[in-house]
């Protein structure tokens, strides 16, 4: 069905268009779970979603960029809503989805039958027929969700409850952890030895995943073997601690994905881990007129041509071949972790294709093995390896430059990438729940905001208090915390590396561009004192949040600075935009320069040594921490330097132009002097 008969090559019909869709299952599955375990009627549960679709929401830049990068959907009926006048709907526009609201209202009133029968089903089948699809009314009526027992495994005395086949996530994650359990203790997080072991465990688990897993209703899945400790010990014994295992390599283009995971808990101690997906970005691109929704492209999760890679580069065998009525192999990994007393400790899952498996595994390892707080566990940089292609992908900061050299000498092909997946997790602590959303995700609250979202206390008792994570990926320093406490901001955590050693340059009276720094909490202090005043001031500045975000964007463009995630402002700056008070534009500009400079320092801290010409290298050689760079940036602003001058200085090219070279100075003799005035 998906192979060109003339060439014998796999086409894109499993990815885009009417043949790419399987029968949607989320409506029936969620309704069945609610009926069996829920405490509210379906109509009540769906009210917020109906209201959001009916009233709409303001389009942000992330949705605009997403639509701009998925223009293949323009060929289908939904282009009128998302691409008015042939262009993606503009940021700031309210997106109202009236058809979707009506569909949700029908489901709320009639239950799953409102989707699988009646006008919604008829609209779906009519669009399938129009485009050459094969889903029929009979297919929709026959669909039933399957109840299957979760996979139950252990790791270091903790119990994991995770998803069984037809998802591959639970088995692959269990096999990975079983392999790693043979190495006690694991090497230090971020070291070459740890990254090597984790990569080799992922490699072996994914080899089994791709060859042996499928829908157990159609193929025999060796579940007992793949989840056994004995089998994992055999695999672990084959790992060479000094050399990478080689697998055939090929190149596969990366693709986006539209998967959602959420972890929830109630006041009675019940927890739910849910993952749902369209598979690819905007699914198959097929839009159901009068239905208001996209169809999935889940057919690509089958082995459309066994032995050929799918959109995620996964090469799968006959066990996952297409058969009518069969469920495709997915990577969904919703997981519940019980502590050694059998109480719920952690609920976690992720979105991101096969990277779901490796991301969920690493969050669990970070909490259990590396004793990180959940916020740190979510923020910690990740790696990914799926056997084929034989490439170790890693996020910035996952390991040092020296570790990268060691990994390459071992034989690993490494490739730096952006955020690998979006995780979502909750953890029990202090008798309540702490929830952390993915800090890499657009619009998500920073992981360091976790303490502000504790849920009602759980009557089942308190969980053990996890120790904090390593210093390089942890929450505020003690000094910063005390400064915030004095301003009544005890519950708001700020990313410490962003603000560490903050000192603002202040122009001398009648100044000529010279600057001085104060960090003792005074009125002109751009470090902790100014931060606290920015956050806790009580006089209105007269700007809206949107205006402030625009001001931030303009200032950053002026300084030619970029944050790690260019899709959104840094979390700290978001906080400032929300709560900014009574500061002049010049003071606010200087404050942003401090944040920007120390954000760069944080990036270099996780990236390892920087290359020639990098601004961080210039600052480090200057021996004066972030102060020189901050002074330099504000001097550029104050003197209204040309764009080329500003860009050249920010790049680290200080050979000419106004402002001169960053001066050299003595290195601070101790950590205690970092916050003192000079």
pLDDT, tens digit, 9 for 90 and up, residues 330-357: 999 999 999 999 999 999 999 998 999 9
d(CA 22, CA 45): 26
Q: Residue 456: CA atoms inside 13 Å, Cβ hemisphere, count? A: 8
What is the reported pLDDT for 192?
A: 97
CA distance linking residue 90 with residue 584, whole number of Å: 31
Contact 516, 506 (CB under 8 A): yes
pLDDT the model gives residue 374:
94
What per-residue confidence (pLDDT) applies to 141?
96
151-252+332-471 in CATH: which number? Answer: 3.60.20.40
* pLDDT for res 588: 52
Q: Residue 492 burial by CB count (10 A; 0-12/13-18/19+): exposed, middle or buried?
A: middle
Annotated catalytic residues are 259
Residue 46, CA atoms < 13 Å, CB-side half-sphere: 23
In whole angstroms, give the CA distance from residue 18 to residue 14. Answer: 9
Which residues of the chain are modeled with pLDDT < 70?
248-258, 305-317, 442-678
Q: What are phi and psi of 390, to 5 degrees?
A: -80, 70
Q: Which are the contacts of 548, defined by CB distance < 8 A and separation ≥ 6?
A: 576, 577, 580
C-alpha 170/C-alpha 364 separation (Å) is: 13
The residues that bridge with 433 in the sheet, in sequence order, are 428
Q: Where are the domains of the chain?
A: 151-252+332-471, 478-673
Q: Which helix (H) or strand (E) holds 127?
A: helix 118-130
In angstroms, the Cα distances linking 563 to 376, 555, 560, 572, 596 are: 19, 13, 10, 11, 8
Q: What tokens does 471 get?
A: 């210093």
SS3 (DSSP) at 378: helix
On whether the CB atoms of residues 386 and 313 are closer than 8 A, the answer is: yes
């Amino acid at each position: 069905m998906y192979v060109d008969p003339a060439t014998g090559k796999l086409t894109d019909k499993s990815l885009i268009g009417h043949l790419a869709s399987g029968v949607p299952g989320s409506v029936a599955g969620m309704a069945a779970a609610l009926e069996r375990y829920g405490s509210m009627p379906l109509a009540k549960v769906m009210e917020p979603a109906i209201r959001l679709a009916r009233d709409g929401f303001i389009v942000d830049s992330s949705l605009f960029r997403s639509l701009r990068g998925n223009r293949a959907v323009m060929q289908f009926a939904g282009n009128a809503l998302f691409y008015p006048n042939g262009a993606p709907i503009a940021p700031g526009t309210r997106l109202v989805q009236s058809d979707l609201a009506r569909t949700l209202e029908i489901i709320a009133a009639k239950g799953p039958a409102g989707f699988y029968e009646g006008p919604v089903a008829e609209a779906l089948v009519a669009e399938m027929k129009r485009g050459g699809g094969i889903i029929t009314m009979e297919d929709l009526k026959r669909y039933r969700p399957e109840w299957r027992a979760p996979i139950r495994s252990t790791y270091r005395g903790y119990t994991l409850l995770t998803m069984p086949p037809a998802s591959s996530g639970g088995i692959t994650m269990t096999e990975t952890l079983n392999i790693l359990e043979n190495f006690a203790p694991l090497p230090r997080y971020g070291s070459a030895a740890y990254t090597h072991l984790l990569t080799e465990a992922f490699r072996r688990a994914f080899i089994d995943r791709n060859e042996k897993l499928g829908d157990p209703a159609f193929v025999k899945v060796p579940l007992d073997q793949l989840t056994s400790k004995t089998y994992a010990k055999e695999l672990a014994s084959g790992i060479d601690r000094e050399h990478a295992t080689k697998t055939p390599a090929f190149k596969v283009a990366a693709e986006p994905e539209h998967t959602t995971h959420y972890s929830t808990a109630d006041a009675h101690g019940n927890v739910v881990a849910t993952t749902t997906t369209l598979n690819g970005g905007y699914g198959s691109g097929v839009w159901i007129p009068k239905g208001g929704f996209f169809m999935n492209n889940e057919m690509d999760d089958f082995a459309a041509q066994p032995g050929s890679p799918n959109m995620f580069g996964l090469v799968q065998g006959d066990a996952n071949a297409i058969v009518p009525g069969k469920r495709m192999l997915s990577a969904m990994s919703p997981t519940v972790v019980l502590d050694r007393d059998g109480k719920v400790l952690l609920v976690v899952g992720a979105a991101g294709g096969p990277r779901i498996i490796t991301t969920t595994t690493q969050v669990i390892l970070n909490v259990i093995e590396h004793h990180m707080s959940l916020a740190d566990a979510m923020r910690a940089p990740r790696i990914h390896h799926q056997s084929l292609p034989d490439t170790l992908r890693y996020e910035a900061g996952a390991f040092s430059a020296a570790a990268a050299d060691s990994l390459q000498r071992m034989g690993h092909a490494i490739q730096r990438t952006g955020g690998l997946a979006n995780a979502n997790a909750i953890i029990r602590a202090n008798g309540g729940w702490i929830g952390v959303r993915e800090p890499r995700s657009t619009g998500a609250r920073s992981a360091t905001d976790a303490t502000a979202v504790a849920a009602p206390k759980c009557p089942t008792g308190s969980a053990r208090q996890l120790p904090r994570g390593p210093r390089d990926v942890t929450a505020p320093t003690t000094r910063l915390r005390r400064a915030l406490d004095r301003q009544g901001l005890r519950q708001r955590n700020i990313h410490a590396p962003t603000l560490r050693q903050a000192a603002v340059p202040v122009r001398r009276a009648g100044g000529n561009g010279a600057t001085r720094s104060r960090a003792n909490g005074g009125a002109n202090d751009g470090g902790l004192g100014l931060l606290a005043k920015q956050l806790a001031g009580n006089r209105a500045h007269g700007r809206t949040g949107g205006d402030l975000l625009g001001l931030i964007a303009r200032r950053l463009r002026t300084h030619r600075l970029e944050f790690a995630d260019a899709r959104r402002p840094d979390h700290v700056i978001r906080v400032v935009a929300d709560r900014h008070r009574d500061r002049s534009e010049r003071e606010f500009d200087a404050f942003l320069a401090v944040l920007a400079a120390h954000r760069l320092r944080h990036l270099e801290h996780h990236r390892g040594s920087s290359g020639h010409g990098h601004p961080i290298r210039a600052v480090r050689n200057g021996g004066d921490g972030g102060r020189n760079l901050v002074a330099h940036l504000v001097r550029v602003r104050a003197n209204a330097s040309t764009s080329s001058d500003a860009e050249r200085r920010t790049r680290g090219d200080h050979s000419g132009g106004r402002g001169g070279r960053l001066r050299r100075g003595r290195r601070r003799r101790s950590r205690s002097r970092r916050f003192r005035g000079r």
